[in-house]
């Protein structure tokens, strides 16, 4: 686990948003975690490889980890606005954005809603359509309880915010967001002008066909299909195999994309 150079909270749109900074560089790389996650559960194993070549700013979204909640549902649009607000508060005029899973969908919304803040985007296992998810995903979500939440994610939340009620609230808001997932229109995706890299695994929660479709909608986008399961290629907690070099391999591809 790499220690951040700095970590703090910033008041943004009615919440106190937590962030950590690693590495150095002129163009920051913003990391946006997946649903139910913290910075560490999504990115702990890949941050050292990314921070070798970039200034990395990793964030935690509404109700997640060390960021507070608001009396409103979670939405991808609001998360995008919150990240934009954080960047403005930190005097970051433009950044590269990398999001995993739900964070990938948030990354799309940042590129759509705040294009002036975006240099390049890396969308990892993100989706913009309901039919982009694996078969049975929404049927499972309809009946999911907190008992179905991976133990590593529950433990990580309670480690940084030891409050069972807040964990339950985060779970319920995450679940409601996915059950009510709304398609993003194709023309919103094709309107993204940022240079884009889409990454998905061959056994992911998001289908390869859907990721290919997104990559074709964004002009000039690049596509990578890696071996593995959801998050294993970035070292996500609970999915990474012992001694796996996949996070390093993914970081090499991301760093090369950012350096072009």
> Does residue 1 form part of some domain?
no
Please say whether the dihedral angle defined by the alpha carbons of residues 225, 227, 228 and 231, taken in this order, is positive or negative: negative
**pLDDT computed for residue 241 by the predictor:** 77
CATH of the domain at 245: 3.40.50.1820
Residue entry with tokens 């970039």: 54
Q: Is 117 helix (H, G, I), strand (E, B) or coil?
A: helix
Residue 183 belongs to a domain:
yes
Residue 47: inside a domain: yes
pLDDT of residue 5: 95
Q: Considering the domain boundaries, does residue 199 fall inside one?
A: yes
Q: What is the pLDDT of residue 75?
A: 98
55 within domain boundaries? yes
Is 179 inside a domain boundary?
Answer: yes
Residue 243, pLDDT score: 82
Task: Give the whole-angstrom CA distance, residue 159 versus residue 181.
Answer: 29
d(CA 11, CA 81): 13
At 39 the pLDDT is: 98
Residue 71 lies in a domain: yes
Q: Helix/strand/coil (H, E, C) string of 184-210?
A: CCHHHHHCCCCEEEEEEEEECCECHHH
The residue to which tokens 């997104």 are assigned: 214
Domain count, the chain: 1
CA 25 to chain centre: 21
For residue 144, what are the domain limits? 6-259
Within the chain, which residues score under 50 in pLDDT?
none
Q: What is the pLDDT of residue 37?
A: 98
What's the pLDDT score for residue 240? 74
């Amino acid at each position: 686990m790499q220690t951040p150079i700095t970590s703090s909270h910033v008041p943004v749109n009615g919440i106190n948003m937590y962030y950590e900074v690693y590495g150095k560089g002129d163009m920051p790389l913003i990391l946006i975690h997946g649903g139910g996650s913290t910075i560490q559960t999504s990115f702990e194993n890949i941050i050292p490889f990314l921070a070798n070549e970039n200034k990395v700013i990793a964030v935690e979204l509404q109700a997640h980890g060390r960021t507070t909640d608001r009396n409103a549902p979670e939405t991808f649009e609001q998360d995008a606005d919150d990240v934009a607000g954080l960047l403005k508060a930190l005097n970051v005029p433009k950044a590269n954005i990398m999001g995993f899973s739900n964070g990938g969908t948030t990354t799309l919304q940042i590129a759509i809603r705040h294009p002036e803040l975006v240099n390049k985007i890396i969308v990892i296992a993100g989706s913009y359509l309901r039919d982009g998810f694996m078969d049975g995903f929404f049927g499972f979500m309809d009946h999911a309880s907190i008992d179905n939440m991976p133990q590593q994610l529950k433990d990580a939340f309670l480690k940084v915010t030891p409050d069972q009620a807040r964990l339950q609230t985060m779970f319920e808001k995450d679940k409601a967001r996915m059950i009510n997932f709304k398609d993003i229109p194709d023309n919103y995706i094709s309107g993204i002008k940022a240079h884009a890299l889409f990454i998905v695994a061959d056994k992911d929660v998001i289908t390869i066909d859907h990721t290919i479709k997104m990559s074709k909608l964004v002009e000039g986008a690049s596509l990578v299909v890696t071996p593995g399961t959801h998050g294993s290629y970035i070292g996500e907690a609970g999915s990474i195999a012992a001694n796996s070099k996949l996070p390093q391999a993914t970081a090499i591809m991301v760093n090369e994309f950012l350096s072009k």
